[in-house]
Structure 1
Amino acid sequence: MSEKISKAQYSPGLFDITQDIIGGLPIKLIEHWLESAQTHDVAVQLLTPYQVTGYSVSSDSTGLTRLTKQKGLLEILVLINQPKEIVYGIGMAIGGEGVGIWAADNTQMFYPASISADTLLSALLTMEDEISKNCQISIGIGAHYGEFYYISGGLYGLEADTIEAVAENDTEGGEIVISQAICSRLPANNSFQLTKRSDLLTPIGDIFRVLDGNRLAQVPGINKNYPIPYSDSFYADLVEYENRLNDTAFCQALSAKYIAHKFVVLIERESKAAESHEVGIFTNLSISAMMKDIGMRLLPQSHGMEIKVISLLGIYTFDSANAALEFGKAFRAELAKEDIACRIGIDGGAALVFDLSVGGKDIAGMPVNVASKMAQDKGEFGKLYLSYGMREYVNVSGFREISYTVSGVEMIVYEG
């Protein structure tokens, strides 16, 4: 791929697509970038109106792999719903706001700079207490104070990316970690017990684990109006199911209504370096738009459906295993033409595809988890991976069989 991305590399009508179809991509902002000189100064100029200062707080669930072996998909959605209601209820009570759509088991909130660091830490400790007492799923939390870009409902920038990655990859259930920037904002006589995570080296400085400290004087109630990903009708059914977990007939009726056998293609492309982080934001947004464009061109041929394109990731579903495989190969070839490598995981099974409340779709189910483990956790860029179950649907003779353990799960996969 050339250093400067041209608008001519996209389908002519891409930038005329309405925002509800394009999803979370800031398509008009990307268009302005593509029509510019694409320099650092231009990137800063375009980003400045979106700059905010405050706290970015991300969380990620633990224990889902074990629970997915014990419980059905709808019950899993109920279980990951509960911590999100607590995180949002307490966060909103001290002045925070939800970031993005909380479609998976992750959360992200932004807190303005006017909130004191000790209030934030007390709130985070209170969250973990309430989740420990009331939920079967635990979460790890990462928090950082800094400058971010708030664009199309998402936080962008090196600092936001770093603390989100720390929360997702480097925390355990019940753990809270904070950056040096938050430590520096704590009053000298604070009550919090901190210990440095010497195993973590990050672009935002030292990371500290919060061991103990003051909780909020009053525990705010849960808030069911967190950035809910589901349509009103599906969310109503999910809430009803939470009250009828032992009603087998109701569970079967909901499963028949929402769950179907799908083949899932998960594509993660490489991140592209740039002369500055600001330029890198636009470079990677432009490549995400390119992935959106490629999918829109290829999907009609294979009768597939795009679920989402977000950051480095694209997820697609198909009714046919062969169509899924051919789409994955074609997508890989299209990205390779632009000198962009990707890694792809494909699995089939029970999945739930649901409409988002703000338009667009998302997905839940084991095929997504398996595809992610193959591609993102263990995969090499340039390679395509089929799950062991896919051998029942497609010819795997041209693939190399490999085995490994990831997240405590033994897997046999086919690499090609």
Structure 2
Amino acid sequence: MTSEPPADLHAPGTFDIAREAADLPLTLVRQWRESGQSIADARRLLSGHTATGYSVVSDSAGLTKLSGQLSLLHVLALIDRPKRILHAHGMAVGGRAVGVWAADNAQMFHPASTDAQTLLSALLRVQDEVERHCRVRIGIGVHHGHFYDLSGGLYGAEADAIEDIAENHLEGGEIAVTGTVVDRLPAGHRFAIRRKDGVESTIGAVYQVLDGPRLNDAPVGDERYPIPYPLAFHDDLLRLERRPDDTELAERLTGRHLRNRTVVLAERDAVPAGSPELTLLNGLALSAVMKETGLRLMPPEGAIEIKVAGPLAIYAFEDPAPAVRFARRLRSRLAEHEIICRIGVDTGPVLAGEIPGGGRDIAGAPVNVASKMAQDLGRPGHIYLSEAVREHIDPTGDPAAFTPVQCTVSGVTMTFFEG
């Protein structure tokens, strides 16, 4: 006899959410708005934020099956340990964490002075430890290049490119590096490296690191990565990781930390191509407009802004109907600023709260379903409601506003509504 699945299951594959950038650098946006907004102005403003070194990005694999079998808290516990391992070993060889490690993503920055052999040896050791101790595997992408370090996050075309490689082109257990990393290895190195086929990138060829020396003698660094949860919850998450079969503990923690909320996730369209500097600053300025507009439209009670990061804005509402009204008004007001967005709305149990470094974050199936509908499947200028949200909307006043759509994502058929 098989056990019943947990009540707060979510669709398989929904943890494969796109990476979120760091919080908006609003001071820089203000300086950009007050400037002449020329290429020269852009380069002057960004000149003090350049960073040269290695961006190391990881993304989990194997969650599609597990997320269809386990509760939200169990999945969060599973993806926690690989992040702790990467952070400890990265810190041990001189790296620092980048941004908030939301969902199953993680990112480290290593200065240009870091020896490429040392870094790859540390990452091979990371993969050994993950395979030995974790049910979830990770893919790791590495690029040596030039980035913009803004509000604790790495920005720019090269930063985006290595993140895309890690999230969309790697398997669990894989380490992939760009040619700029390979070129920094000395002649006669002992790493087994092979060109990775089928990956086209603006930052050049991509190579797999198949084997090589491990950094077995490196001291273990700090495992406390930039967690995207309140500290009290993370402590409970570690307890659940140690006692995964304790159903009473899982139920108690679910009641303590999860709340039913309606999530509104909006993504604006990309900035038209120009110089890299103009593209970056104009994009940040548009995100600032999203933030200002959303705050003006939010009701005084029953809703909070979670964050505006890069092209994304995320809000949480106590009830679905005000969330849908807000989504429609946000779409309309942004269109007045010539900002076209796609918006997903879903409802259900989430974990939300203030994070140790300041600000808020949120996790749970509604975030991921809203992302799938809007970011992965949505069309610009449209709003997408999940079935759970649609049940709360009175169709009599606006029967043709939303029409059903059916799509298959990660092997799962989703039905939602487009308006």
- Measured at CA, do residues 302 and 405 of structure 1 come closer, stay the same or move farther in structure 2, by a change above 3 Å? farther
Matched, 1:250 2:249: yes
1:405 aligns with 2:408: yes
- Quote how far apart the aligned CAs of 1:240 are: 2.7
Q: Distance in 1 between matches of 2:285 and 2:183?
A: 36
- 1:135 match: 134
2:69 counterpart letter in structure 1: Q
Q: Tell me whether 205-214 or 87-96 shows the greater mean CA deviation.
A: 205-214
1:194-343 equivalences in 2 (<5 Å): 194-218=193-217, 220-221=219-220, 223-300=222-299, 303-343=302-342
CA distance in 1, matches of 2:26, 2:40: 20
Aligned 1:95-114 pairs, distance under 5 A: 95-114=94-113
**Cα shift at 1:218:** 2.9
297-306 vs 107-116, greater mean Cα deviation: 297-306
Give the letter aligned to residue 408 of structure 1. G
Q: Does the alignment pair 1:51 with 2:39?
A: no
Aligned residues: 394
Amino acid at match of 2:163: E
CA contact (8 A) 1:85 1:222 kept: no
SS in 2 for 1:188: coil
Question: Is 1:123 the counterpart of 2:126 in the alignment?
Answer: no
Work out whether residues 140 and 170 of structure 2, in 8 Å CA contact, stay in contact via their aligned partners in 1: yes
Larger deviation, residues 106-115 vs 395-404: 395-404
Structure 2 SS opposite 1:37: coil
Deviation at residue 110 of structure 1 after TM alignment:
0.3
- 1:222 positional shift: 6.8
Q: How does 1:305-384 map to 2 (within 5 A)?
A: 305-384=304-383
Q: Cα deviations across residues 295-343 of structure 1 (Å, max 9, x unaligned)? A: 1111125732111110011111112111111111111111111111111
- TM-superposed deviation, 1:395: 4.1
Q: CA deviation at 1:113?
A: 1.0
CA RMSD of aligned residues (A): 1.7
Q: Name the aligned partner's letter for residue 272 of structure 2.
A: A
Letter in 1 for 2:156: G
1:94 aligns with 2:97: no
Indicate the larger mover: 298-307 or 182-191. 298-307
Give deviations 1:40-66, integer Å, cap 9, x for gaps.
Answer: 111111111111111011111122232
Which consecutive residues of structure 2, in runs of 5 or more, have no partner in the other structure?
1-21
For 1:378, the aligned partner's letter is L
Per-residue deviation, 1:186: 1.2
How many Å separate the matches in 2 of 1:252 and 1:78?
Answer: 14
Question: Does the 8 A contact of 2:384 with 2:416 survive in 1?
Answer: yes
Q: Following the alignment from structure 1 to structure 2, what is the Cα–Cα distance between the partners of residues 88 and 300?
A: 39
Deviation at 1:144, TM superposition (A): 0.4
**2:131 and 2:260 mapped to 1: Cα distance?**
34
State the SS of the aligned residue for 2:185. coil
TM-score (norm 1): 0.91
